[in-house]
Structure 1
Amino acid sequence: MIDTVFIGMSGLSSYSKGLKAISNNVTNLNTPGFKTSQLQFTDLFYQGSQNGTGAGRFGNGVGTNGTNLNFMAGDFRSTGNELDVAVNGQGFFVLRDEQSNLRYTKAGQFEFNGNGVLVNRNGSEKVMAYDAGNLREITLQGMQSNPPKATSEIVLKGNLSPEGTQHSINNVAVFDSAGKQHNLTVAFTDKKLDATTGEVSWTVTVKENATTLTTGDYKFKNSLAVGGSDALSFSFNPAGAAASTVTMKLGPNVQAFNLGTTSSLEVDSKDGYGVGTLAKQAFDDEGHLVLNYSNGQSDKRYQLAMARFSNLDSLEQMGSNQFQAKDANAVSYTVASKGQDAIRSRAVEISNVDLSQEFSDLILNQRGYQASSQIVSTANEMIQELFEMKGRR
């Protein structure tokens, strides 16, 4: 009879632990990256006769074998935060704490700290990038600005009508080697026809304000640019900047058709830019940290590290939405790709808690607890009855 009380007590203890696991799951319903756990129940050892299949054998109640984690993916929730990311796959983000311990998380909520290092928003662990087989921290050091590039090429497009006598392209913006912008004027004048070759030549003069930078000729034949006479190079050496060479050429979309006295020749494209300041940081779908600058340039120097596990049972929860690996040999490192572990930016993976399943388990645990309590009460009544019978003798 006393054994029955202890058996009932084992049920009370085990179902209490089950309730604890369920309550932990439910309360973390909105925790990013949270993975549910389920308590594993096991029957306790048996004692009694060994004759037959379980004949005369009695168990000693129920026990628990700890919890199993469910790594099924949760839903993705948009946050609008440029540094929030989620993994659409089995990979985990890699963090490194102050003791150089590696931690793994599905909760990609990151930010740059005061030193310009990308860290976990909850806990300040450093977020790891993966490069050439090595894990390294992500830092903005030396990347707050983008250096200038001097203009080296200007490509023209449009029509230069042979009926016209002159044409000007104004405010052609170029950059010197120091990143300063200059506005040039390109003038087409002094048109000449070579009756022998049939070539039409134009004198081209490039000026900055009143200063002539270069003069040369462009030639056309049969309304198309003549190869070898379709480009003009000049040295650009403004005060305070190192000299650079600029080549202005006629693009494939330049013609010289007779369309009256009006020409449409203009700048099609040009390179070069000034100094840029960091304007925006975001992640792309392969985990690259994309830095955008005010001069229109971008940088993709870092790519988020992805940890993959051959056995997810080697992971154990550490709190703060993080896991650690019990077996270091079970983890490998790589990067995300569009086909595997694609990154969703401006979003987080929320918990994979299924409320309907949790409430169903809650009812089962409640019934189990009530039944175990009833066993203890019944055994207690029977023991009390024995005491009363003994007392009446």
Structure 2
Amino acid sequence: MIDSILVGMTGLQGFSKGLRVIANNTANIDTPGFKASTLQFADLFYSTSSPGTGSGLMQVGYGLDTGGTSLDFKQGELRQTGNTLDLALDGQGLFTLKDADGNIHYTRAGQFMFNADGVLVNRADGSKVMGMDANGVMGEISIKGEGTLEGKATTTVTFSGNLPSTSASQTVQGVTVIDSVGGTHDLSVKLTASTTDPGHWTVELLDGSASFAAGEIAFVDGMPDPAQSKVSVTYKPAGLADVPLTLDFSADVTSFDSQDLSTLAFRSQDGYAPGALTGVSFDDTGTLVMSYANGQTEKGSQLALGRFDSLDAVKSVGGNAFDNTNSLAWHVGVAGGNGFGKVRSGMVELSNVDLSQEFSDLVIMQRGYQASSQVISTANEMLQELFTMKNK
């Protein structure tokens, strides 16, 4: 009966540990990136003895044992936050972090920010979020020195519309050009029909009264001649460096008889003024995207991700982080390839705790604990009865 009490005690201890695991799961129901755990139970060893007669063996168990906990790595719900630096992984993978001591950890809780040095860090503990450059070298993700994007002088100006084939000349107004220091100039282009070669037009770039000779374009059956659809001109803004330009009439430009009604117009140019950084985000491949006030975007490093082949290769270390326990079972890469999921910007992954399942397990633990305590109480009463019989 003393053995029965000891067996009952193993039940109390085991179900107490199970209750603790359930308590931890339910306490972290709102923890981003949290993965629920399940306690593993096993029976203890057995003693085997041979009875005096017969061929059978009698096995007597010694109670309940508890092994490790197993993580449930199924994906939690992805919830919108509106913060572009809140990131979630839709699929396999974990974000890679490096702490102040240089140790590598992993997390599914992508709640990041840029610190005062312009380095992307984990908001929870300040550890650096690791990325990969174009050569696959891992390093920190930084926007230091990216606060302003330098301007780019215009190199190509494109046009679209119909240039009336019966017109003697046409002038296109509102041709925008960006100079070498980011200044904007409102120019015009004058086209004059050749009196000797039908379909040929002389092109001039005008800045007010100043004229910059460009060249000649030609049309065959109303369509641009590929060999004569672009002209080069050097625009010389006062006091600034020369701006070499290509005036492109090769696409979406025609020259048909439209009774002198011209629709030829300036369409686009490829320059831009300097611009300040206005926002940062990550695309679905985990690539840093920097947006500027001039409408331009620049791309940076990709987020470095890790994934594992077996749950035996990962363990929880707290702070929404996990560690690698078997390098042979881990892979490093970037989002969208080689088994890795995609990055969702402005979202965070919630805990994957199933509260209904936890409450069901809670009832089982409670019943098991009550049953084990009842075994101990019964064995104790039987011992008391035995001692009473002895005293009689």
TM over 0.5: yes
Which structure 2 residues correspond to residues 149-228 of structure 1 after superposition, within 5 A?
Answer: 149-189=152-192, 191-194=193-196, 198-214=197-213, 216-220=215-219, 222-226=221-225, 228=227
1:33 lines up with 2:33 in the alignment: yes
Q: Secondary structure at the match of 1:149?
A: coil
CA contact (8 A) 1:178 1:240 kept: no
Aligned length: 388
By how many angstroms is 1:215 displaced?
A: 5.3
By how many angstroms is 1:266 displaced?
A: 0.7
* Structure 2 counterpart of 1:75, from 58, 74, 77: 77
Greater displacement, 168-177 / 359-368:
168-177
Q: Secondary structure at the match of 1:104?
A: strand
Q: Secondary structure at the match of 2:251?
A: strand
* Cα deviation digits, residues 50-75 of structure 1 (max 9, x gap): 56998333222112112111112222
Provide the rounded CA distance (Å) in 2 between the counterparts of 1:309 and 1:215: 62
Aligned counterpart, 2:143: 140
CA contact (8 A) 2:230 2:250 kept: no
Provide the rounded CA distance (Å) in 1 between the counterparts of 2:380 and 2:10: 15
Provide the rounded CA distance (Å) in 2 between the counterparts of 1:333 and 1:227: 49
Amino acid at match of 2:85: L
* Cα deviation digits, residues 333-374 of structure 1 (max 9, x gap): 111116741222222221221122211111110100000111
Aligned counterpart, 2:95: 93
Greater displacement, 2-11 / 44-53:
44-53
Alignment identity in percent? 45
Greater displacement, 126-135 / 108-117:
126-135
Provide the rounded CA distance (Å) in 1 between the counterparts of 2:50 and 2:305: 53
Segments of 5+ residues of structure 1 without an aligned counterpart are none
Aligned counterpart, 2:256: 257
1:243 lines up with 2:245 in the alignment: no
Amino acid at match of 1:343: V
CA contact (8 A) 2:218 2:224 kept: yes
* Structure 1 counterpart of 2:104, from 76, 99, 102: 102
Cα RMSD for the two superposed structures: 2.2
Which structure 2 residues correspond to residues 373-392 of structure 1 after superposition, within 5 A?
Answer: 373-391=373-391
Q: Secondary structure at the match of 1:73?
A: coil
* Structure 1 counterpart of 2:59, from 57, 68, 72: 57
CA contact (8 A) 1:150 1:175 kept: yes
Q: Secondary structure at the match of 1:172?
A: strand
Change (3 A) 1:371 1:94: same
Aligned counterpart, 2:284: 285
Amino acid at match of 1:258: D
By how many angstroms is 1:204 displaced?
A: 3.2
Greater displacement, 326-335 / 203-212:
203-212
TM-score w.r.t. the length of structure 2 is 0.91
Aligned counterpart, 1:357: 357
Greater displacement, 229-238 / 62-71:
229-238
CA contact (8 A) 1:336 1:343 kept: yes
Amino acid at match of 1:233: S
Provide the rounded CA distance (Å) in 1 between the counterparts of 2:325 and 2:359: 31
Q: Secondary structure at the match of 2:195?
A: strand
Provide the rounded CA distance (Å) in 2 between the counterparts of 1:21 and 1:224: 76
By how many angstroms is 1:203 displaced?
A: 4.1
TM-score w.r.t. the length of structure 1 is 0.91
Provide the rounded CA distance (Å) in 1 between the counterparts of 2:79 and 2:343: 13
Change (3 A) 1:212 1:313: same
